[in-house]
Amino acid sequence: MSIPHRDLDVRPILRAGGEPFSVIMEAVEALTPGQSLRLLATFKPIPLFQVLGARGFTPSAREIGNGDWEVIFAPSGSAEPHEMPEPQMSQPSGADAWPPPTIELDNRDLDPPEPLVRTLEGVEQLPPGETLVALLPREPLFLFDELKARGYSWRGSLELDGSYRIVIHADGPGKKSP
C-alpha cells in the first residue's frame, strides 16, 4: 500500500512576494516515513532540489501550465540523509588564511544577469590579496568560468535558504596589481 503525497501549494505565498522556505521545511519535517511531498510553485525550485536532496529526497518536476510547476520530492530509499556534493571551487594554497572580506554584496533579490554583473564589478575593484563575499540567488555556474578566466580564486557553499554564498580572493595567477 502506497502512502499518499503530502500536498503543499506555495503559489499564493510566492505571488504575494513572500518566501515559502520555512513553510516547505515544516511540511518536510511533518512527513511520515516513506511519504513524498507534492509541491506546487510558480517556478521550478532548483535550489530546493539540493536542499532536500541533502535530506534524502529525489525531485521529479513537471511544468503544469502558466509557468507553474509540480515537484514531487520522494524519499530516496535510504533512512540516512546523504551528504550534498561539494560545490565547484578553486582555492589557492593557504586559502584558510584569506583575510575577512573587504567588499560584501547581497545580490539575492536581483534578476539575471544582474547578480553576475554586479559580482564581477565588485571583483574588479578588489586590490591584490583582498576578498569579496557575495550572496547570490543560486549557484553561479557562469560566474565560475569568468572567475577562472580572470585568474581569481574562490570558495562557495549552498545556503539552507537555497541561495549561494561565494568568497572570492584577488590573488589568482592572472590577477595583476593595479
CATH number at residue 165: 3.30.110.40
Owner of C-alpha cell 547581497:
106
Q: How many domains does the chain have?
A: 2
Quote the pTM value: 0.47
- Looking at the fold, whether 13 and 68 belong to one and the same domain comes out as yes
Residue 82 lies inside a defined structural domain of this protein: no
Residue 25 lies inside a defined structural domain of this protein: yes
Estimate the share of the chain in helix, then strand, then coil, as percent rounded to the nearest 5. Answer: 25, 30, 45
Contacts of residue 170, Cβ cutoff 8 Å, sequence gap at least 6: 123, 126, 127, 128, 129, 130, 131, 132, 152
DSSP H helices in 83-153: 114-124, 141-150
State how far the Cα of 75 lies from the Cα of 115, in Å rounded to an integer: 33
DSSP conformation class of 57: E
Residue 87 lies inside a defined structural domain of this protein: no
Per-residue confidence of the chain (178 residues) as pLDDT tens digits? 578 899 999 999 989 888 888 899 999 999 999 999 999 999 888 778 878 887 889 999 898 988 899 999 999 864 333 333 334 444 444 445 688 899 999 999 988 788 989 999 999 999 988 999 999 998 888 888 889 888 899 998 888 777 889 999 987 444 443 3
Question: Which domain covers residue 139, as residue numbers?
Answer: 95-169
**Grid coordinates given for 22:** 520555512
